[in-house]
Amino acid sequence: MQKDMVQRFLEYIKIDTTSDEESKTCPSTKIQFNLAELIIKDLETIGLSDISLDTNGYIMATLPSTTSKNVPTVGLIAHIDTAPSYNGKNVKPQIIKSYDGKDIVLNQKNNITMSTEIFPDLKKYKGQDLIVTDGTSLLGADNKAGIVEIIEAIKFFLSNPQIEHGEIKIAFTPDEEIGRGANLFDVKKFGAKFAYTIDGGELGEIEFDNFNAASVKVKIKGCDIHPGTAKNKMVNATLIGMEFNSMLPINEKPEYTSGYEGFNLLCEMSGNVENCELNYIIRDHSKEKFESKKTLMLEIEKFLKIKYPVSEILVEIEDSYLNMKEKIEPVIEIIDIVKKSMLEVGVEPLVSPIRGGTDGARLSYMGLPCPNIFTGGHNFHGKFEYIPINSMHKAVEVIIKLIENINKDFSN
């Protein structure tokens, strides 16, 4: 007997798939194969036959076309891993039936409560069924909700062969949460003209305007002298690091930004008198402001080198991903048809900037335009993560309607 969507979701989130940014392998953790192998079995059970799982943890499958029309091949993508920023082991989900709109006690023993004052969006779902954590782990809706929603939509078309649609490609990737989901993605093998990641947040979200992103390492070498004889000799690398950070705009820290405002984030700082290292990430939707932030880092490097000629200061900047908007706007019809599909199933489209990145951003620059659609989840990467079951069903409805509309509107 085939599983229903919620049953499948509850099964998937109990499987630990945490990725590891320190690992050099792909996938970064072998445990991701535990879910990947189960997904393969489930895809076979629902009736798919063209399925592959490679040694790097990438799943690809094809639902053949059922139409004689010339319809572009569309892709649906989600990721297997969960974020390493919070515990992903021993997930114990709870279902809150007919939520009453009040604070939710997740864990009475540990006094963990999800407050409507802190999370006012909860009130939108009064009367609905919610899936929440027990307060000791993340939930894993990011992105296992996307996986099961895609599977449910594919199951619908397999069960209703009379509904015409073009060829549909699906892919489930490893290591998205550590920025590597697209690293070994074979765009040519996938064969889609465009695709959608089902990896967004609340009901109605459509995202195709993400951050430009870079990582920055600042390496400082000072001169350590016994403090008793240090006058005019010691150069304290840690103090130079602190000075470097103080020269960045205070109002461009993430805690002071929202919407389209970019930021510099000091992620880690370590050091002593002799050596200091600072690790930053830079984010901005605007390409010009993004480049200005990188330039400022280099200008501070030049200034401090002049001020402290005895020291060695090196700023290393590496781009991580770019804003997919540049690649989506020339094919904006793939956004318009999502909006149309949402409205037709009673979902209000919410076009919003992504204050982060997705596999779709990098895939768009690899030749596969790939905007992002909602899963329905909230508060990803932490113990207050939750997802309304109704939003999951709506995500499936949107995917189905989207495929139907592509068949109707994009045929030649």
User: Average pLDDT of each block of 10 consecutive residues along the chain (412 residues)?
Assistant: 88 98 96 98 94 98 96 98 96 98 96 97 98 98 98 97 96 95 96 97 95 96 95 96 98 94 96 97 96 98 97 95 94 98 98 86 96 97 97 98 96 75
**Is 176 an annotated catalytic residue?**
yes
From the list 202, 222, 179, 214, the residue with the least C-alpha distance to 362 is: 179
> Which pLDDT score is estimated for 117?
97
Domains within the chain, CATH numbers bracketed: 5-209+323-409 (3.40.630.10), 212-321 (3.30.70.360)
pTM above 0.75, yes or no: yes
Run of H or E including 271: strand 263-271
* 297 Cα distance to chain centroid: 27
Per the CB < 8 A criterion, the answer to whether 58 and 184 are in contact is yes
Helix (H, G, I), strand (E, B), or coil: what is residue 102? coil
Residue in the block written with tokens 């997930």: 91
Instruction: Specify whether 117 is catalytic.
Output: no
DSSP 174: S
Q: Which of 176, 205, 207, 284 is catalytic?
A: 176
Residue 167 phi/psi, 5-degree rounding, is -65, 135
Q: Which pLDDT score, from 0 to 100, does residue 341 have?
A: 98
Residue that has been written with the tokens 């995917």 in this structure: 399
pLDDT given for residue 1 in this prediction:
52
Catalytic residue (one of 81, 142, 199, 209): 81
Q: What is the predicted pLDDT for the residue at 2?
A: 67
